[in-house]
């Protein structure tokens, strides 16, 4: 356990890049073997756009990394934050609690806030404009959203009092599990259901990418599904009823145009249909 943490304490940037690239490659290949939907799309062209946004995410996080490191070091030196306040816990317990709480504050809460505050939604909706959700969608984030998420991560590290080893372990798990739950793959239904009691499963996350409310405003989880289950935001929708995208931005050509996507947060906000007729018919 200690050796895992000491590895992540000093994990080189190259290893982090390898984790990200291997994850994409693995799930990309798996999408050919067990696809959930048979998209009629140019997989490489679609992937290239999302990789562009993945690269901007990496640049933002790399440029700001020193702030994350300083925040974590500060909590350790000043004995600040939950992990420093709970005594008598074995290392594995601290790691588990640290990863759980970082996932809640830095991801679930950050994601929920971005759906609830209009200005922030303007940035986050770029992630939702993908009409073919696959493993490359995981990091399709507007650079503005990358900054917002980074700030929430720093806030999470401060509250949790997470040493940098736990932060890096959390981020590495987060990258791979986000690629997993966005991947256009289908698992045996029972397995998917079983996984969704602990972690966000592929079927669970796809509901979040359905184009209309209230489904878009559900299943916010990143690694763990327990936050949605505890906080009442867990929903189900059969795969065959899922339509990817956002009701306010239905133009697929615009949603594949980097310039247009980058400009969305600065345009007038469009109102979402709260009660979509298709959903009313279902209920
Ligand atoms: Zn979202």
Per DSSP, the residues of 228-274 read HHHHT------GGG--BS-TT---TTGGG-HHHHHHGGGSPPPPPPS
Maximum Cα interatomic distance, the chain, rounded to a whole number of Å? 57
Residue 218 CA to ligand 1 center (angstroms) comes to 8
Q: How far apart are CA 209 and CA 216, in angstroms?
A: 6
Residue 66 CA to ligand 1 center (angstroms) comes to 27
Residue 94 CA to ligand 1 center (angstroms) comes to 29
For residues 101-121, one letter each, b for 16 or more C-beta atoms within 10 angstroms of the residue's C-beta and e for the rest, the string is bbbbbbbbbbbbebbeeeebb
Residue 126 CA to ligand 1 center (angstroms) comes to 9
Residue 283 has a pLDDT of 32
- Contact call for residues 169 and 92 (beta carbons, < 8 A): no
- Contact call for residues 150 and 68 (beta carbons, < 8 A): yes
127: left (phi over 0), alpha (psi -120 to 50) or beta: alpha
Residue 114 CA to ligand 1 center (angstroms) comes to 7
Q: How far apart are CA 11 and CA 16, in angstroms?
A: 7
- Contact call for residues 115 and 218 (beta carbons, < 8 A): no
Q: What is the pTM of this model?
A: 0.89
Residue 211 has a pLDDT of 92
Q: How far apart are CA 133 and CA 128, in angstroms?
A: 9
Residue with tokens 């929708």: 237
Residue 276 has a pLDDT of 52
- From first to last of its 283 residues, the chain has per-residue pLDDT tens of 788 888 888 888 888 889 999 999 999 999 999 999 998 889 999 999 999 999 999 999 999 999 999 999 999 999 999 999 997 888 899 999 999 999 999 999 999 999 999 999 999 999 999 999 999 999 999 999 999 999 999 999 999 999 999 999 999 999 999 999 999 999 999 999 999 999 999 999 999 999 988 998 999 999 999 999 999 999 999 999 999 999 988 888 889 999 999 999 898 888 877 655 444 333 3
Residue 111 CA to ligand 1 center (angstroms) comes to 6
Q: 185 - beta bridge partners? A: 35
Residue 250 has a pLDDT of 87
Residue with tokens 């310039």: 259
Residue 179 CA to ligand 1 center (angstroms) comes to 14
Q: How far apart are CA 26 and CA 164, in angstroms?
A: 27
Residue 112 CA to ligand 1 center (angstroms) comes to 8
Residue 221 CA to ligand 1 center (angstroms) comes to 9
In this structure, the dihedral spanned by the alpha carbons of residues 220, 223, 228 and 229, taken in order and rounded to 10 degrees, is 160
Residue 22 CA to ligand 1 center (angstroms) comes to 24
Residue 251 CA to ligand 1 center (angstroms) comes to 19
Residue 220 CA to ligand 1 center (angstroms) comes to 6
Residue 9 has a pLDDT of 80
């Amino acid at each position: 356990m200690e050796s895992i943490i000491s590895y992540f304490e000093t994990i080189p940037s190259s290893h982090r890049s390898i984790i990200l690239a291997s994850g994409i490659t693995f799930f990309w290949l798996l999408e050919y073997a067990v696809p959930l939907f048979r998209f009629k799309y140019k997989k490489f062209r679609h992937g290239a756009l999302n990789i562009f946004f993945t690269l901007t995410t990496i640049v933002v996080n790399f440029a700001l990394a020193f702030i994350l490191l300083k925040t974590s070091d500060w909590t350790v030196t000043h004995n600040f934050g939950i992990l420093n306040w709970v005594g008598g816990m074995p290392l594995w317990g601290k790691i588990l609690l640290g990863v759980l709480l970082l996932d809640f504050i830095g991801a679930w809460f950050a994601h929920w806030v971005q759906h609830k505050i209009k200005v922030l939604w303007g940035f986050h909706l770029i992630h939702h404009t993908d009409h073919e959700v696959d493993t490359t969608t995981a990091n399709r984030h507007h650079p503005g959203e990358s900054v917002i998420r980074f700030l929430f991560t720093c806030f999470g590290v401060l509250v949790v009092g997470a040493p940098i080893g736990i932060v890096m372990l959390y981020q590495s798990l987060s990258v791979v599990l986000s690629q997993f739950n966005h991947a256009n793959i289908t698992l045996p239904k029972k397995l998917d259901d079983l996984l969704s009691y602990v972690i966000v499963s592929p079927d669970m996350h796809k509901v979040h990418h359905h184009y209309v409310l209230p489904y878009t405003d559900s299943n916010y989880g990143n690694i763990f599904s327990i936050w949605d289950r505890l906080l009442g935001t867990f929903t189900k929708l059969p795969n065959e009823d899922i339509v990817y995208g956002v009701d306010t931005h239905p133009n697929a050509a615009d949603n594949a145009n980097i310039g247009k996507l980058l400009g969305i947060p600065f345009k007038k906000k469009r109102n979402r249909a709260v009660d979509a007729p298709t959903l009313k018919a279902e209920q």
